[in-house]
Amino acid sequence: MAGGVRIRAATPGDAPLLHELVTALAVYEREPDAVKASVEDLRASLFGEGATAHALVCEQGGAVVGFAVYFFNYSTWLGRNGLYLEDLFVRPEHRGKGAGLALLRHLARLALDKGCGRFEWSVLDWNQPAIDFYRAAGAQPMDEWTVYRMEGEALRAFAHG
Amino acid sequence: MAGGVRIRAATPGDAPLLHELVTALAVYEREPDAVKASVEDLRASLFGEGATAHALVCEQGGAVVGFAVYFFNYSTWLGRNGLYLEDLFVRPEHRGKGAGLALLRHLARLALDKGCGRFEWSVLDWNQPAIDFYRAAGAQPMDEWTVYRMEGEALRAFAHG
């Protein structure tokens, strides 16, 4: 891999590290208070019985420089799973040395290995450096679609309405 | 449930029915040629070993009027799964009698039962009746985000580049 990048599956012992990286990503995305998960929440949800999401750790030059979390989504039109990248983050001080590209390529290969028809992720509309990076890699924006979310009290009220 | 609606988990024997409904949804979404999945693809991917997506069938007045397909996504910020609704469809001639609302409410309850922090789905930006329905139900648009997709030759080229 480029620049001595090593990518490995995260283990339960990485939960504190993942929590630190997830928090750093939230700061970058201008939502520093958005991380509600504790270290134990991440450990249980990523490594506990029935876990459906998976984490990768990216090391370069002996240091942990980034991480990714993914799960398998699905397309009825294809009748196949896809690979959905929930988070990809490289610490700002370690950018520009191939770690992000190596993570994205690792995931693209994993998608093909798993027989997935698509590899997808979401990008904040103001994050032009990321958009340029992803478009250059061959990804297309799904411009016609908007995700709707129900959560918290609205979800409870609707469910029991 | 409203109007005698019955919602049940789909079984492998429903694969031909699901294929017919998936095709009807594609026609409605103005993409009649988008369904690449065969009946067997749907059967294997929804009911085979390791399947991660799940289907519901909705019956009303003795007829199958619609279906839904969902899977569990994930939020690192919450450290919890979410429930993602991939497809929800009610045959046009059976709309307006509560089947769509019953399916959506069934899924919202399932999300809470499974400990999910969010219930999400994607909506085509031109589908104003759906947008009005979902907003009235308490869902919020994730306006700041766009999904990027890599597939087919672009995915293979990037993975092996």
Above 0.90 for ipTM, yes or no? Answer: yes
Backbone angles phi, psi at B140, to 5 degrees: -115, 140
Catalytic residue among B28, B74, B84, B134: B134
Does an H or E element contain B15, and which?
helix B15-28
Tell whether A1 is within 8 A of chain B (Cβ).
no
Window 128-157 of A, Cβ < 8 Å to B = 134-135, 137-151, 154-157
Using alpha carbons, select from B54, B77, B73 the residue that is nearest to residue B7: B54
Place of tokens 């994993």: A110
Question: CB of A64 within 8 A of CB of A97?
Answer: no
Q: What is the DSSP letter of B138?
A: T
pLDDT-flagged residues of chain A (< 50): 1
What single-letter amino acid sits at A98? Answer: G
Beta strand pairing call for A118-124 and A80-90: parallel
pLDDT of residue B141: 98
Is B2 touching A (CB cutoff 8 A)? no
Beta-carbon contacts of A121 under 8 Å, excluding residues fewer than 6 positions away, are: A84, A85, A86, A88, A134, B147, B148
pLDDT of residue B2: 55
Q: Is A134 a catalytic residue?
A: yes
First-to-last alpha carbon distance for chain A, in angstroms, is: 53
Tokens, residue A36: 């509600």
- Averaged over successive runs of 10 residues, the pLDDT of chain B (161 residues) comes to 85 98 92 94 96 97 96 97 97 94 97 97 94 95 97 97 86
Instruction: Please give the helix or strand (H or E) that residue B128 lies within, else none.
Output: helix B128-136
> Chain B interface, mutation test: which of A17, A140, A148, most B Cβ atoms within 10 Å?
A148
Q: What is the DSSP letter of B125?
A: T
Instruction: Please give the Cα distance from B30 to A89 (Å, whole number).
Output: 36
- Contact residues, B window 23-82, toward A, CB-based 8 Å cutoff: 25-26, 31, 34-38, 41-42, 44-45, 52-53, 69, 71-81
Q: How far apart are CA B28 and CA B94, in angstroms?
A: 14
Torsion B122-B127-B133-B138 (CA) sign: positive
CA atoms of B21 and B32, how far apart (whole Å): 12
Q: What gap in Å lies between CA A121 and CA A131, rounded to an integer?
A: 11
